Structure 1
């Protein structure tokens, strides 16, 4: 099992450099790509750094590892449509403005999905926070000062945390 660490302890991922990660009992290479350089691969959804004034909205599936909400597309949704729906479902927020930060590319290099390439978009989303009424797969929400993002957002101590450090840097939270 890989340990979790605060994103603030990680060096942000550089453009296009493969970084090793492990997930779902498989080995992956992750890389960061700027907004104008969407990499090839299967659309794997959208995630958003949710900014509500001076606060950041984070979610968790199990109450310990908090990060930005997001999810996979339904039907022929665009990345922006996926973002708005997923943020509403997972974090009970409404997107008022969103800017694309970039893309993460994940290539499975060992395991049952060998060769699979997934691409996720990351956004900075200005949001309005609605009452917390969890109805989907995310039972925990936390609202923290945006200035504390580097200490509040944790990720796995591999390439994943470097991608998240880049996301927060691009969102101007790092």
Structure 2
């Protein structure tokens, strides 16, 4: 089985909703992001992809690592996905660009059960966010941080 490596950003609104996007010609909703270019760090890739896909310019300092995740690729049958995921609560005004056909904000507690969400979101990202919410942790992992 081949492995696809990507970087992605989990944009979280104050109400806990997460931005997901759908690429043209696909069914799965996923976090904005994409494949790294040569000599590009995971964070640099995430920042570049968000600018290309959503017109959102964000500084590397405005994102924090959420983790490294391995699951099944959403749109490439027979491939595993290795994702470096970053998170931010930066206020943004995204606009679908490039290969992005649609975008939506979704509550992770709802997205866990949405078969249209990519495996990365349903199986790993959304459950982690729901668990954080349950113990009152915010994006930085600080007890009692606002959600």
TM-score (norm 1): 0.53
Greater share of residues in helix: 2
Query: Which residue of 2 is the match for residue 162 of structure 1?
Result: 123
Given the alignment, which residue of 59, 72, 80 partners 2:21?
59
1:120-154 deviations in whole A, cap 9, x for unaligned?
2111123332352x33111112235xxx2221464
Q: Which has the higher contact order (CA 8 A, sep 6+)?
A: 1
- Of structures 1 and 2, the larger Rg is shown by 1
Query: Which residue of 1 is the match for residue 31 of structure 2?
Result: 68
Change (3 A) 1:46 1:138: same
Structure 1 segments of 4+ aligned residues over 4 angstroms from their partners: 155-160
How many residues end up aligned between the 2 structures? 125
Equivalent-residue separation in structure 2 for 1:47 and 1:102 (angstroms): 10
Note the aligned Cα RMSD (angstroms): 3.8
Query: Which residue of 1 is the match for residue 10 of structure 2?
Result: 49
Secondary structure at the counterpart of residue 94 of structure 1: coil
TM-score (norm 2): 0.61
